[in-house]
Amino acid sequence: MKINHTAPTPNGKWRWRDPVTGYTIFNFSSGKLVLQIRSYLLSNGREPMSDEQIETAICEQMGLKPPYCDSCSAPPGGLSFDTLKRFFGTVVNWIKSGFKMAPMELVNQRTAVCATCPRNQRAGGCSSCDARLGEIVAQDGELPLDRRPTEITKLHNCVQCGCRLSLKVQFAIEAYADDDAKYPEWCWVTKERHAQNP
């Protein structure tokens, strides 16, 4: 998503909430807020984000649509061969585990983390006018009712690993044994791996 910097300020101020600490930054100017966030991440030793990633996070967190944000821009990055390889490795491990699923309490905890993560982004495009994208998003509805996380509507795609998050949160952590993606410190994959190997 991309902020329309010529749009009026929504609800008095632009804002961004740190998904790790909950600290919130406000500014009347969207451009100045992006600069503040970059400075905040740098001064706190956090992994940097591109301007597009920051703008996407602001738009998603505030729930903004045109004229404030362009909801049809592609997310940063793309679906690389390495991304596909990681995803299929995860699926193979999941099959080897006997299709082991995470308990629903854990699925909901993971969902809460992903729902506020700046790497949780829409696939890029309009799901109502792009049939292929619409089919991917519609697959969320294929999950049995008892396996749907409470905040499933807030889950999109992880630009870190390329996975559809409604499915990713379901797998037992063993399925991610060979996933060498460098997840941020606030990610549930990182935390669960540390819990397994303190």
- What residues contact 33, with CB distance under 8 A and at least 6 apart? 14, 15, 16, 25, 26, 27, 58
What is the predicted pLDDT for the residue at 86?
Answer: 65
Name the DSSP class of 182.
Answer: -
What is the predicted pLDDT for the residue at 36?
Answer: 95
Exposure letters 105-121 (e unless 16+ CB within 10 A, then b): ebbbbbbbbbbbbbbbb
d(CA 45, CA 75): 24
Residues of the chain with pLDDT under 70: 71-88, 123-142, 178, 198
Name the DSSP class of 172.
Answer: -
What is the predicted pLDDT for the residue at 129?
Answer: 42
Element (H, E) at 158: strand 157-158
What is the predicted pLDDT for the residue at 113?
Answer: 94
Element (H, E) at 16: strand 14-17
Q: How wide is the angle at C-alpha 51 spanned by C-alphas 49 and 57, nearest 5°?
A: 75
Closest by CA position to 74, among listed 157, 9, 151, 131: 157
Q: Is-contact 85 155, C-beta < 8 A?
A: no
